[in-house]
Amino acid sequence: MIQTIRNAWKVPELRGKLMFTVFALLIFRVGAAVPVPFIDTQMLSQYITSQSASIFSLLNVMSGDAFAQATVFALSIQPYINSSIIIQLLTIAIPALERLQKEGGEEGKKKITAITRYATVAIALLQAFGYYTMIRVGSNGTSFLSAQGVWPAIVIIAAFVAGSAFVMWLGEQITEFGIGNGISIILFAGIIARVPSMVYGIYAGVLNWMNGSDPKSVMVLHPAFILLIVAGMLLLVAFIVFMDNSERRIPVQYAKRVVGRKMYGGQSSHLPIKVNMSGVLPIIFAQSIASIPATIGMFVPSATQEGTGWNTFLTIFDSRGWVYSIVYFLLIVLFSYFYNTIQFNPVEVANNLKKNGGFVPGFRPGKPTSDFLSKVISRITMFGALYLAVVALLPTIVGNIMLLAGSSAGTSLAIGGTSVIIVVGVALETVKALEAQLMMRHYKGFLE
């Protein structure tokens, strides 16, 4: 990876793209540090940080702490991601959008992009209003607003929506003039921004252990245990890299055919099917749904009172409890199958192979090939879903082990399994984009 960046830096064109990407990320981080007026950010940050089981915790991780600080970029890129997913699902449900995507060509892509942008602004408006409502209601009746009234509400909501729209535009500029996918890189930058605070937390815990101020952490923060955690993180990254690059290659043979005086076909190829075809989306969907009870409980005053129905219900669905973990696991598997069904259509792939004179050895073209592909996809999806579920639940498992060891430190990890998958996946994707541009540059120079 480092060697690829060095080689890209030597090429003036790629060096300019790298500098543009770095400058765009710098603007993103500056905007993530500018607070919105009329909000008590200190109290709000303490409150959201304490709500580790709610959806606000996920939004805070993805925005690089901007959500907890109520900055201009508090909503970050989430409205655009939600909009893209919704439009992608609607293109399957609505025939007009499906025709526009498949048969519209370049003009159709532009219209889909415009629809996605409008949907982003609408979703950002809804999220901004909901965020403002949560800030206004506050915790136990204590509002996080420093000023009440219509004008502060308009300013706060408008600032959040404008910030989200600007981040969307910034991501598109990175995609066009920078390196890699701009949306993914902004998400990557937001997650990486939390690393220093995580390292400082571990460092402070070690100091407390050495000074004896936190006797409960003697076992967990022992140097050997810390080395074990670091080794485990490195193994986790290596495992994610391996799974991201894993694929099932189905052999495809093309029949020979004569066109005029030339013979075409006859060559062998393969159909690659990735093990983790759906990426991190099943985890995001599952976490959003599994955290709904805790999120609703944030707006119910009786949820904090011992013995009430809401308090008992939220205790059962605690993010470190086994009920939450089972529901989370099942939702990840369910959404993995759902998203892979949308992504890969065995009937369409089998028909395309048949039209181009291709076939899978041992299976007749048409329905037999489609049935075989469906069987393969079902098996691969199960492996991919189990991989995502294990990585997503690993922070919960480690946190529970720490609690059983008698430590009050490390009950929740700053970067969860979702974030690790995103960071590693974006890094691999960006390196591949750099290598592709270097290869294109090499062939261009050879031809000239």
pLDDT of residue 253: 86
Q: What is the DSSP string of 395-443?
A: HHHHHHHHHHTT-SS-SS-SS-HHHHHHHHHHHHHHHHHHHHHHHHHHH
Q: What is the pLDDT of residues 283-341, one digit of tens each?
A: 877 877 777 777 676 666 666 667 777 777 777 777 777 888 888 899 899 989 988 88
pLDDT of residue 386: 92
pLDDT of residue 97: 85
pLDDT of residue 435: 85
8 Å CB contact between 71 and 33: yes
For 269, the 3-state DSSP assignment is strand
Pair type for strands 268-274 and 262-264: unpaired
Q: What is the pLDDT of residues 167-198, one digit of tens each?
A: 999 999 999 999 888 988 998 898 888 777 76
Backbone conformation region of residue 366, classed left if phi is above 0, alpha if psi is from -120 to 50, else beta: left
User: In Å, how far are 54, 74, 84, 416, 426 from 420, measured between CA atoms?
Assistant: 19, 21, 22, 6, 10
pTM confidence score: 0.79
Which residue ranges form the domains of the chain, and what is each CATH number?
Answer: 1-194 (1.10.3370.10), 195-414 (1.10.3370.10)
